[in-house]
Structure 1
Amino acid sequence: MAKSVQRRLVKIERDLLGNKPLRDCLRQCVSLGGDLRSARLRDWAMKELMGYQEGDEVPPYRMVTGLLLGDAQTFHHQVSGMAIPWTALPDGIREHVRDTIALPSGVATLEENVRDAERRGDGSVKIAVPMGADIAQMMSNDRVGFERLYWGVTTGVFRGVLDEVRTTAVSVLAEVRSGTPATGVPTTSTGEVADQAVNVIVYGGKRHTFNVITSQSQGGDAQVTGMSAASTPTVALATPARSWWAWAGLGILMVLAAVAAGGLWLW
């Protein structure tokens, strides 16, 4: 089982690094999460595909900054994409309109947003401001009538988010692969490694130490003896042979130290 998991991890990593379609790679991550019994890996990949719903925790790489813009009508002109200064917002509204925007849509929608903006030729994706029409009406006066407010986010920012999703997927899989010895850790333990990888890399959680003790059993399989909280991940490998060499090395160092001090003669 472990060798099969390692092969799948390597294949998905290569697809991601080879710029294969991101949606296909995420679907493979969903399937892998099911096989590893990792709910965190499966759910994260599904949300990247289908989008984050209200109440979901949106990863930091999906938080972007946009420029507040508006469409307005004057006596003589129709103005589109007018930059709206922060001070122009009505009192009581300013503190509720943030320049940090979440991009919760699935990767397919983000990719389509980029293509639409490029077809229009303006290089910007328009994102509606909550209650933007009401705010626009409050800002209108005798000289200018605002029709709507929205955020303008460049296609470069969208491409950066998509690249972050790809890089995050590679990082998660690499973490799982590095924490999965090739000799056959049980599937449930590999799932715990995958859960932790998503928690740390995607959401910035704390790491835990997985102590994997390699014993010389007939099947040659590794045995997971326990976990403990720690600041960095560690895999402890201990075998009878290594323990013997450690004691032998310590004895040699003690003899050499005694010789150097003149307290022991060698004939």
Structure 2
Amino acid sequence: MATSDVRGLEQLERAVLDDTASLASALRQFLMAGYAHHEELRAWALKELEGYPAADELPSYRKVPAALEVEITLNLPGQIIQGNTRRISVAQLPRSARERGIGESAPIRQGVREIEALIAISDRMIHLSPPGSAEYALGMTRQQQENGHEFTEITSLYWAIAKPSVEGVLDHIRTRLTQFVAEVRAAMPAGQQKPDLNQIDSARTAREGRPRWHRERQRQRTRARDSAALVGTGPRSSGPPSRQWLRSPASSPP
């Protein structure tokens, strides 16, 4: 009969392998099952669930290609034309936006549940507004009017992101969880019912991108160095003393 630890691992495995299951639920199972013993694992899972604060550095998989687009309203005499969309280049952004690093790469800081909801309500493109977008739109409107386009108003600035790019963020997180489960299983010998901390640490290292064969090679090298060090601490031979202990007669103590 399977223990609760094995059942928990099996439930987590089913959750991460089922593409129709909520990734948020799989991450909660990961936390509740007690596998996030390490602070790094726990912090990673919580940030994926709750989202990344603006001050935090994002993982590379949460930065996706995006086009910059604006919505334009033409306030003509006796007529207002709304809903015109135009793609712009980074060079057309206000200097303050460029200095802040806003460009054709969008940071996905939302938690996985919010990302899942955005995907569910979107058709082909997902629109996200950069921080300070209202201020930038106002500055671009002033620039248009200074250039003689007095009837032009920039009403919004946003990133237009292809839906598959955002889906790829979730897929990357799911793959990392799958890799973790696979590594835990590979580290557990037959008959073991509960993964220990060393096995979880081994799986954590794999999640960071170092494969199992690499870690095995590192352990073998470490054992070889330790063995060599133990040999070196044994009785010294009757041969000449080590160079570092040789002293000239002038430097010898009286």
Distance 2:201 2:170 in 1: 26
State TM-score, norm by structure 2: 0.68
Residue 195 (str. 1) matches residue 196 (str. 2): no
- Number of equivalences: 204
Cα-to-partner distance string for 1:166-205 (whole Å, 9 max, x where unaligned): 112101221222223335487232332243234x14xxxx
TM-score under structure 1 length normalisation? 0.65
- 2:153 is aligned with 1:145: yes
Match of 1:241?
none
The SS at the match of 1:78 is strand
Aligned with 2:122: secondary structure? Answer: helix
Q: How far, CA to CA, are the matches of 1:108 and 1:131 in structure 2?
A: 24
Tell me if the contact between 2:37 and 2:197 (Cα under 8 Å) persists in the aligned partners: yes
> Structure 1 stretches (4+) deviating beyond 6 angstroms?
none
The Cα RMSD (Å) is 3.0
Q: Which amino acid aligns with 2:81?
A: H
Residue matched to 2:89: 85
Spell out the pairing of 1:37-56 with structure 2 (5 A cutoff).
37-56=37-56
The equivalent of 1:232 in structure 2 is 214
Q: 1:58 to 1:93 in 2, by over 3 A?
A: closer
Note closer, same or farther for the CA distance 1:168–1:73 as it changes in structure 2 (3 Å cut): same
Q: Quote the Cα distance in structure 2 between the aligned partners of 1:31 and 1:98.
A: 38
**TM-superposed deviation, 1:3:** 7.2
Q: 1:100, 1:158 → 2: CA distance?
A: 12
Q: CA deviation at 1:81?
A: 2.9
Which residue identity does 2:216 align to in structure 1? Answer: T
Unaligned runs of 5+ in 2: 221-254
* Structure 2 equivalent of residue 124 of structure 1: 125
Q: Percent identity?
A: 29
CA drift at 1:29: 0.7
Q: 1:109 aligns with which of 90, 110, 114?
A: 114
In structure 1, the partner of 2:248 is: none
Contact 2:68 2:103 (8 Å CA) reproduced: no
Give the partner amino acid of 2:55.
G
